[in-house]
Amino acid sequence: MQEGMKNGCAGAPAVLLERISTLLAEGTVARVLGWKAGDMAYNPEPAYFETQEALKDFVYDGFCGANLSKYMIEASKLEGKTLVCLKPCDTYSFNQLLKEHRVDREKAYIIGVGCGGKLDVEQIRRKGIKGIQSIDGAQLVWEESDPGTELKGIGDDVLTIRTIYGEKTLPYGEALLERCHVCKGKEHRVYDELIGQSRDTKDADRFAQVERIEAMSPEEKFAFFQQELSKCIRCNACRNVCPACSCRKCVFDSNKFDSSQKANADSFEEKMFHIIRAFHVAGRCTDCGECSRVCPQGIPLHLFNRKFIKDINELYGTYQAGENAEDKMPLTSFDFGDAEPGIVGERG
């Protein structure tokens, strides 16, 4: 464990840092794509590291939720291999990008890093903890000798949060990102080597939220989404972070559909953007949850994508984007006996 990290950040497990450092020193990789400390303890940010010296800022802790696979699009164009740290769920995104020829497998050295669930500072705030100064307990403890060892159960881990109102504690499991409660599993789908242990964090049904909305009356559904989407400021954070939204130029930024971005208003504008965005990533979205994580307005954007995933599973057979790089995608394939669009009304 490194001491004295910037902004009280927890640093990275030594075993990971050492291995990265070695690969960089040997010249196996030209650079490292990881996370560095942000301005607060809870917001480390994606960063490149090109020297061993620079690695002193390298962080991998409970707050490193950012999915780095999308950065590999640009990294694939650089000279030499890029070492990228991917959590199990990030590897789905990488596979999907691989399928779409957006990243170069040969240019990537993937370290599959263990994941015990990632933390959400907004969730901590929602628990009534305000004025956060620093958070302890987000660091990862990996057994060097035996990578197979299970980590301690989530229930045992506690975050200690220092605030301007004094010290508060919160169980780790209560501060997780929504996506971690419905985790797809801790198996890395693509990697060169694995470091660290993972632990299961799934304790909720992935489609429960979608089902709750489906059960509403049309008026309630409309009111719910109207309220959520009225918060949208069209900052495009969801689009920019999304590994499936990897177009060189978004249709909402081009003149191809006369649909260039307009100012926010209480209108259909946002719905159109979010429906089309969800549609464009339908069958390609791995449900990584980055859109909801980065939305500054706290809009549960994953509800759009997950609705499509649920529909695809129910209508065309269970499909998980990014599980491998070979399967035919649901919207570029069909079955002669597919349901008719009228099924939407019939299902109620």
Partner 1 sequence: MPMKDEFKPKIVAFCCNWCSYAGADLAGSSRLTYPADVKIIRVPCSCRVNPMFILRAFEKGADGVILCGCHPGDCHYSTGNYYARRRMTLLFSMLDYLGVENGRTRVEWVSAAEGVKFSQTMNEFVEKIHSLGKNVRLEDLRCRKE
Partner 2 sequence: MQRIGVFVCHCGSNIAATVDVKKVVEMAALEPGVVHAEDYQYMCSEAGQSLIAKAIQEKQLTGLVVCSCSPRMHETTFRKAAERAGLNPYMVEIANIREHCSWIHKDMEEATRKAVILARAAIAKVNLNTPLQPGESRVTKRALVIGGGIAGIQTALDIADAGYEVDIVEKTPSIGGRMSQLDKTFPTLDCSACILTPKMVEAAAHERIRIYTYSEVEKVSGFVGDFTVDIRKKARSVDMDKCTGCGVCQEKCPSKKTPSEFNRGLNNRSAIYTPFAQAIPNVPVIDREHCIKFQTGKCGVCAKVCQAGAIDYEQKDEIVTEKYGAIVVATGFDTIKLDQYDEYAYSQSKDVITSLELERIMNAAGPTKGHLERLSDGKPPKEMVFIQCVGSRCADERGKSYCSKICCMYTAKHAMLIRDKYPDVNVTVFYIDVRTPGKNFDEFYRRAVEQYGVNYIKGQVGKVIPQPDGKLLVQGVDLLDNRRIMKEADMVVLATAIEPNPDVRKIATMLTASIDTNNFLTEAHAKLRPVESPTAGIFLSGVCQGPKDIPETVAQAGAAAVKAIGLLAKEKLTTNPCTAKSDELLCNGCSVCANVCPYGAITYEERQVNDHGIREVRRLAVVNSALCQGCGACTVACPSGAMDLQGFSNRQIIAEVDAICR
Only one of the segments 13-21, 23-31, 48-56, 211-219 lies at the binding site for partner 1 (rule: CB under 8 A); that segment is 211-219
Q: Which of residues 319-348 bind partner 2 (CB under 8 A)?
A: 328-329, 331-333
Q: Which of 24, 242, 282, 291 binds partner 1 (CB under 8 A)?
A: 282
Does position 248 interact with partner 2 (CB under 8 A)? The reply is: yes
Does position 207 interact with partner 1 (CB under 8 A)? The reply is: no
Could you say which DSSP state residue 8 is in?
G
User: Strand, helix or coil at 185?
Assistant: coil
Q: How far is the CB of 100 from partner 2 (least distance, A)?
A: 4
Q: Which residues pair with 35 in a beta bridge?
A: 46, 59
Q: Which residues contact 300 (CB under 8 A, 6 or more apart)?
A: 178, 209, 228, 292
Q: Which of 127, 131, 222, 254 binds partner 1 (CB under 8 A)?
A: 222
Only one of the segments 5-13, 166-174, 197-205, 248-256 lies at the binding site for partner 2 (rule: CB under 8 A); that segment is 248-256
Size of residue set near partner 2 by CB under 8 A:
23
Radius of gyration for the chain, computed over Cα atoms and rounded to the nearest angstrom = 21
Residue 281 interacting entry, from partner 2, partner 1, none, C-beta within 5 to 8 Å by type: partner 2
Identity of the residue, 39 or 79, whose beta carbon is nearer to partner 2 in the bound complex: 79
Residue 236, token pair as written in the block: 């495009």
Q: Are 236 and 296 in contact (CB under 8 A)?
A: no
Q: How far is the CB of 315 from partner 2 (least distance, A)?
A: 18
Q: Which amino acid is at 24?
A: L
Q: Which of 225, 300, 325, 327 binds partner 1 (CB under 8 A)?
A: 225
Angle between helices 302-316 and 268-281 in degrees, nearest 10? 50
Q: How far is the CB of 335 from partner 1 (least distance, A)?
A: 8
Q: Which residues contact 7 (CB under 8 A, 6 or more apart)?
A: 37, 38, 39, 40, 41, 134
User: Residue 293: which of 241, 345, 247 has the closest Cα?
Assistant: 241
Q: Which amino acid is at 159?
A: L
User: Residue 69: which of 22, 119, 108 has the closest Cα?
Assistant: 108
User: Residue 72: which of 53, 62, 85, 59 has the closest Cα?
Assistant: 85
Does position 249 interact with partner 1 (CB under 8 A)? The reply is: no
Q: Which of residues 74-103 bind partner 2 (CB under 8 A)?
A: 77, 99-102
Only one of the segments 19-27, 130-138, 193-201, 270-278 lies at the binding site for partner 1 (rule: CB under 8 A); that segment is 270-278
Identity of the residue, 159 or 210, whose beta carbon is nearer to partner 1 in the bound complex: 210
Identity of the residue, 194 or 213, whose beta carbon is nearer to partner 1 in the bound complex: 213
Angle between helices 218-229 and 268-281 in degrees, nearest 10? 90
Identity of the residue, 158 or 213, whose beta carbon is nearer to partner 1 in the bound complex: 213
CA distance linking residue 222 with residue 207, whole number of Å: 19
Identity of the residue, 102 or 307, whose beta carbon is nearer to partner 2 in the bound complex: 102
Only one of the segments 110-118, 175-183, 227-235, 254-262 lies at the binding site for partner 2 (rule: CB under 8 A); that segment is 254-262
Residue 121, token pair as written in the block: 């500072």
DSSP string, 257-285: TT-------SSHHHHHHHHHHHHHHTTT-
Residue 107: half-sphere exposure toward Cβ, Cα within 13 Å: 18
Binding stretches for partner 1 (CB under 8 A): 210, 213-214, 216, 218-226, 251, 257, 259, 265-269, 271-272, 275-276, 278-279, 282, 304, 307-308, 311-312, 315-316, 330-332, 334-336, 338-345
Binding stretches for partner 2 (CB under 8 A): 77, 99-102, 246-251, 254-258, 280-281, 328-329, 331-333
